[in-house]
């Protein structure tokens, strides 16, 4: 493909991101690629991606998640330069951006396609909200350490009434994020899966579930001692839920295209960031 237009997403909280974003824009101009810069402060309802051939993100995984939500439906690839401290998705390091960008522009880069989640909030039989995410969809209490009750079903088959501080539905990509911190399994990002992980479940027998992405999960909010229940997608601004609301979650149609996110980089990140050592080290 002949790439002619690019948008660079600059994380406004990272000064180095602004400087390097301007440097990359200048470099692209010498190659005949027009680039615009979009300033991203962590939350945005605006997705300025139509009309561009590819996107460069200058931040951590949160910046990539923002780009993925806007780019996946359009089939636009994302070049994720890492400015975060614990990222698994933004895998292009700052000191290698030029080499990796040249490989991409020549058409030789590996582009990994990751599945996304789609959530529909149904209230009184009417859909009130639709959102997509690359990492996860979380239903929980608005404040910490408050148990909520909900019914969970998968393709119409009941998984039971559950009491917990929250429930996380993640993709394989999101399995290394909030789900992992809540005790969920780490899934190879090449797999399509729905990962169901409970947060501080009332029952000690509760275990994470890995489900086929071909099915649909439904979470119905039941009456509980607290009424402040929210849903958030990829950690974005939460939306209030009411008793009787049903959240339907399934795999989205579009897939995020991540440039240079190889299996080798994923497992390198696991080894380095989770401090895998393979066992005691002997002198």
| Active site members | 61
Task: Give the Cα separation of 276 and 204 in Å (integer).
Answer: 27
Query: How many beta carbons lie within 10 A of that of residue 236, not counting itself?
Result: 17
Backbone φ, ψ for residue 124 (5° rounding):
60, 35
How many CB atoms within 10 Å of residue 147? 17
H/E element holding 15? helix 15-30
* CA–CA–CA angle 188, 193, 196 (5° rounding): 105
18 CA to centre of own chain: 23
Q: Which of 28, 29, 25, 30 is nearest to 10 (CA)?
A: 25
């Amino acid at each position: 493909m002949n790439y002619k237009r690019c948008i660079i997403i600059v994380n406004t909280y990272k000064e180095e991101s602004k400087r390097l974003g301007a440097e990359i824009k200048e470099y692209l101009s010498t190659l005949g690629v027009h680039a615009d810069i979009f300033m991203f402060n962590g939350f945005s309802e605006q997705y300025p991606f139509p009309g561009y051939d590819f996107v460069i993100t200058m931040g951590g995984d949160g910046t990539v998640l923002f780009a993925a939500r806007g780019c996946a439906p359009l089939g636009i690839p994302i070049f994720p330069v890492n400015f975060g401290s614990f990222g698994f998705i933004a895998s292009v390091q700052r000191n290698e951006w030029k080499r990796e960008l040249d490989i991409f522009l020549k058409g030789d880069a590996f582009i990994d396609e990751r599945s996304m989640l789609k959530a529909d909030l149904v209230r009184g039989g009417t859909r009130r909200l639709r959102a997509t995410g690359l990492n996860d969809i979380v239903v929980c209490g608005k404040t910490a350490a408050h148990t909520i009750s909900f019914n969970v079903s998968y393709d119409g088959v009941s998984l039971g009434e559950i009491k917990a501080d929250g429930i996380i539905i993640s993709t394989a990509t999101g399995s290394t994020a909030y789900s992992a911190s809540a005790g969920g399994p780490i899934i190879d990002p090449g797999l399509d899966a729905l990962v169901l992980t409970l947060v501080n479940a009332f029952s000690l027998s509760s275990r994470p579930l890995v489900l086929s992405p071909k099915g649909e999960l439904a979470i119905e909010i039941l009456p509980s001692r607290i009424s402040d229940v929210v849903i958030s997608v990829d950690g974005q601004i939460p939306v209030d839920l009411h008793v009787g609301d049903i959240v339907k979650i399934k795999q989205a149609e579009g897939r995020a295209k991540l440039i240079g996110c190889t299996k080798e980089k994923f497992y390198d990140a696991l080894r380095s960031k989770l401090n895998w050592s393979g066992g005691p080290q002997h002198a």
